Structure 1
Amino acid sequence: MTRHSPRRAPKALILSGEPPVEVMLRVDARARRITLRIGADGRAAVTRPPWVPAEEAARFARSREGWLRERLDARPPRLRPGPGAALPVEGAPRAIVPGPRTALEGGRLLVAGDPAAAARAVLRQVARDRLTAECDRLAAVLGVSWGPLALRDTRSRWGSCTEGGRLMFSWRLAMAPPRLLRYVAAHEVAHLRRMDHSPAFWRLVEGLHPLWREDRAALHALGPALHAWDFG
């Protein structure tokens, strides 16, 4: 007797054309409808609820191919840190200059060795220092404890919080203006009190960061430019 394995839904769809476009096919139990989005890393994904067939999600993606290609064409080009480039650090452009050591010096970023690796190390340290100080300050306001802090090069979110109080952030926040980093810190610290996105949660965020709406929108708009930098 021959047994047949259940057919697995494909994980990606390739839209033919020039150039071909890969669309990730995802299932999310929290989804209520089919959505098509382009992540900060430029990758497209269609998300469906579990009860929607994969074939229907694929048809939806194909029906939006024109819209998808327009958005992808409008994205900023990939950038590589190197001598002569101006890398944003805390919202200000820093000229990358070869030097005997790696350090921020005035309006310059001195890099020793591989420029991309050196720039990434500086951004990670800036992010760790600023986020640690900000989370300490905000946690004291709410009377909560937190830790440890983890830094990742995440593509779909700027931060996250676990039930155990572990906070994770994208180190690319070090490139953004400080107020945007402070907004993300406020968002995640507020989750230490409420692990949801209820009106009560957003009231907590507003108490910590009154201009959260403006800064959330600004970070969403700036995200593609921050993720355009390729650190290898």
Structure 2
Amino acid sequence: SKSGWILAKLDAWSARPAPRTLDLVDGAVLPWLGGEISLRLDPTGVRTSVRRDDDGLVLRHDPDLSGELRVRTLTAALQRFYTRQGQALMAPRVEAYAAQLGRPVRKVIVRDQKRRWGSCAADGTIRLNWRLMGFPEALIDYVCAHEAAHLVEHNHSPAYWRVVAGLMPDWRARRDRMRADADRWVAF
């Protein structure tokens, strides 16, 4: 009885662009705050590290790394960089939205989440996905406001959406844009 709906969803799913893959080569381009940032590999280090310079990201690594170990090591370094930058950018935004609501945030944690952009625990801990750092700041703000609103309403009821609208009147447009274009901003 649901075969028409299922087939339509499968067609829509197959029409979506393939997720971006991480190409660990010099000059690769990664999503960054709605735009792109270039990656320069610097095989002159012993310890793997990532830093920003005027031209983009510089990923310093051991020149002897190869194969799967190289991929895992460099990917982990990039993830740590995105996570640190995400913490610095998103935590103050969540706290500002929470302050508008008069609610305390216990802690903001940016981490690897496979299936969610964010979550809010009953104790006031808000977790955000480091992959948001590929998104435009307007959409990052939407996720921060969305999670802060859960400090007031721990559900997605009409009352919850009124809280979100109080923080961000154009939340629907931002949510729709996230749903439509998320794949183009996810780094890896």
- TM-score bracket for the superposition, by shorter chain length: 0.7 to 0.9
1:68 aligns with 2:10: yes
Report the counterpart of residue 126 of structure 1 in structure 2.
85
**Equivalents in 2 of 1:67, 1:139: separation in Å?**
36
Q: Which residue of 2 aligns with 1:192?
A: 151
**Partner in structure 1 of residue 57 of structure 2:** 109
Q: Which structure has the greater CA radius of gyration?
A: 1
2:33 equivalent among 83, 90, 103: 90
Q: Structure 1 residues 194 and 129, CA, compared in 2 at 3 Å: closer, same or farther?
A: same
Shift of 1:153: 2.9
Three-state SS of the structure 1 residue aligned to 2:38 is: strand
Contact 2:19 2:183 in 1 (8 A): no
Separation (CA, whole Å) in 2 of partners of 1:66 and 1:214 = 24
Which residue among 129, 138, 157 is the counterpart of 1:179?
A: 138
Q: What CA distance in whole angstroms lies between the structure 2 residues aligned with 1:76 and 1:192?
A: 35
The number of aligned residues is: 171
2:39 match: secondary structure:
strand
- TM superposition score normalised by structure 1: 0.65
CA distance in 1, matches of 2:4, 2:165: 40
More helix by share: 2
| 8 Å contact from structure 1 (residues 103, 109) kept in 2 | yes
Task: Say whether the 8 Å CA contact 1:81–1:96 is kept in structure 2.
Answer: no
Stretches of structure 1 that go unaligned for 5 or more consecutive residues are 1-58
User: Following the alignment from structure 2 to structure 1, what is the Cα–Cα distance between the partners of residues 82 and 137?
Assistant: 13
Kept in 2, the 8 Å contact 1:81–1:115? The answer is no
Deviation at 1:70, TM superposition (A): 5.7
- When the two structures are superposed, what TM-score results if normalisation uses the length of structure 2? 0.79
- Paired with 1:192 and 1:63, the residues of 2 have a C-alpha distance of 35
Q: Cα distance 1:146–1:67, how it changes in 2: closer, same or farther (>3 A)? A: closer
Partner of 1:211: 170
Alpha carbons of structure 1 residues 190 and 63: separation in structure 2 relative to 1, 3 Å: closer
| Cα deviation code 1:68-115 (max 9, x no counterpart) | 156225332541142221101111201100136511223411112243
Give the whole-Å Cα distance in 1 for the aligned partners of 2:96 and 2:140: 13
Q: Which of 79, 96, 107 is equivalent to 2:21?
A: 79
Give how far 1:208 is off. 1.3
Give the secondary-structure state (helix, strand or coil) at the position aligned to 1:72: helix
CA gap 1:222/1:146 in 2 versus in 1, 3 angstroms: same
Runs of 4+, deviation exceeding 4 Å:
59-63
- State the alpha-carbon separation in 2 of the partners of residues 199 and 86 from structure 1: 41
1:160 matched to 2:119? The reply is: yes
Query: Could you tell me how far apart the structure 1 residues matched to 2:125 and 2:170 are?
Result: 25
For 1:223 and 1:112, the matched residues in 2 are separated by 29
